[in-house]
Amino acid sequence: MITLYSPLHRDHAPAFEIFRGDRVPAFETPARADIVEQRLAARGHKLRAAHVDSHPVLAQVHTKRYLAFLEQAWNDWVALDPAHAGLQPFPSVWPVRSLRSDVEPVNFTARLGLYSMDNGCPLVAGTWGAAKAGADAAASAAALLLDGGLKGGDAVFCCTRPPGHHAGADFMGGYCFLNNAAVAAQSLVNGAGAATAKGCRKVALLDVDYHHGNGTQSIFYERADVLFVSIHGDPSTEYPFYLGHADEQGAGEGEGFNLNLPLPAGSTASQWFAALEVACERIACHGAEALVVSLGLDTFAGDPISKFLLQPDDFTRLGERLGQLGLPTIFILEGGYAAAELGVNAVNVLEGFEQTTVEEA
């Protein structure tokens, strides 16, 4: 399987975050992608660099003013005071109900709050470069599948970070700045970045992260060309709390093209795979020409901030089931914070997928 990787991800290395009221070492660290990369190399997988500039498709996925803010945020922060170079900025005010969000404040902290859904995106000097490299990988993955003729069983893995599925059109949150899965799906629809101009009429986007991909849902909620399906912890008790309920089924042209499958904390592998079967059946009915997978690996039983009970062999089974869909597939690395097991679990998914497609061929 083709794997896209950039060492630029290491430039986003926040020292700490605020977790449940405490200042703690950051969970989302460069070690995550490096451990996956090392496991891939040990198993004989070859890594490539991205070759497509994602700027055009980023402008379709995110708003112009959000992108402008994010690209310049660190420079604006340090320009306020050179001493800020040694600090991580966090928002302290948000435009909640009854407050205006249409007017961008001049104050940096106010702007940071305007574009943040929470305080879970600590900025550092290399944040934009790392996030942009991830988006470039997503756009490159789509181009590779399109140029390959969208053959069933073809797949590309984006071994990138920071993750992206909590990022909406005009906000960051939950460690996510740019929505890589949305970039991949939109690029497949566009045909953008590929030698061919022909894009996909229908794309399916499956999110298997423990936490609901609220940003991805919101981006495609009123569209019928991109089906969004998510298996995740029940938002009544689990982050991101305010989206991911089963009654959210799309709106307008997108009505019926959003499927949430929330599960209670502590769900077993058998419960989880029952939900996966529902997801796969819906994807098959969609008639998708390609699949994008937000590959969160925090469903692992040992994850420090999540509460499902999957074991390493279950990730092989996941890959096998996705391979049975027979679709050209892009895997995007999302969450997963049990760092020691992350590489094994990621590669198990990919090799399970490959084994199935080889057998069927």
Closest alpha carbon to 240 in 219, 270, 262? 262
Out of 9, 45, 62, 166, which one is annotated catalytic? 166
Helices and strands (H, E) in the chain, number of each type = 10, 10
For Cα atoms 144, 357, 146, give the angle at the middle one, nearest 5 degrees.
15
- H helical segments located in the chain: 30-42, 55-61, 64-80, 108-114, 127-147, 180-190, 214-220, 269-286, 312-323, 339-360
Please give the single-letter amino acid code of residue 229.
Answer: V
H/E element, 230: strand 226-233
Q: Nearest CA to 70 among 7, 134, 27? A: 134
190 in helix, strand or coil? helix
User: Could you tell me which of 334, 280, 273 has the C-alpha nearest to residue 303?
Assistant: 334
Q: Is 212 a catalytic residue?
A: no
CA distance 59 to 69: 13
What is the enclosing helix (H) or strand (E) of 258? Answer: strand 258-263
- Using CB atoms within 10 Å of the CB of residue 105, give its burial: 0 to 12 exposed, 13 to 18 middle, 19+ buried: middle
Close Cβ partners of 230 (under 8 Å, ≥ 6 residues apart): 206, 207, 208, 209, 212, 213, 216, 217, 244, 259, 260, 261
Q: Find tokens 């702007």 and name the residue.
A: 111
Residues identified as active-site: 166
